[in-house]
Amino acid sequence: MKPLHIILSVIGGAVAGAAIGLLMAPEKGETTRNKIAQILKDKGICLKKDKMEELVDEIEDQIEKHI
């Protein structure tokens, strides 16, 4: 594996882990989505609202598959 792939994998894993952690938190969905969006913005990743909804839905689907 190239070093760049390893770095991107680590960053992707960290973002996914943070998103899953936030999704499992006992807060309203809108609050959780706003927090995920803020974390991504802090990392320099800007997503439109519809793309953010798709990301959250995909993460929720993956969580449901593994429960």
Question: Phi first, then psi: what are they for 10, rounded to 5°?
Answer: -65, -45
The pLDDT tens digits of the residues spanning 44-56 come to: 877 777 777 787 7
Question: Would you say 58 and 22 are in contact if contact means Cβ atoms under 8 Å apart?
Answer: no
Question: Which pLDDT score, from 0 to 100, does residue 1 have?
Answer: 58
Distance, in Å, from the CA atom of 7 to the CA atom of 28, rounded to the nearest integer, reads: 32
List the structure tokens of 13.
């894993």
Task: Please state the rounded mean pLDDT for residues 38-64.
Answer: 78
Question: Which pLDDT score, from 0 to 100, does residue 60 have?
Answer: 76
The pLDDT tens digits of the residues spanning 7-35 come to: 888 888 888 888 887 777 666 777 777 77
Question: Would you say 33 and 56 are in contact if contact means Cβ atoms under 8 Å apart?
Answer: yes
Taking the whole predicted model, whether its pTM rises above 0.85 is answered as: no
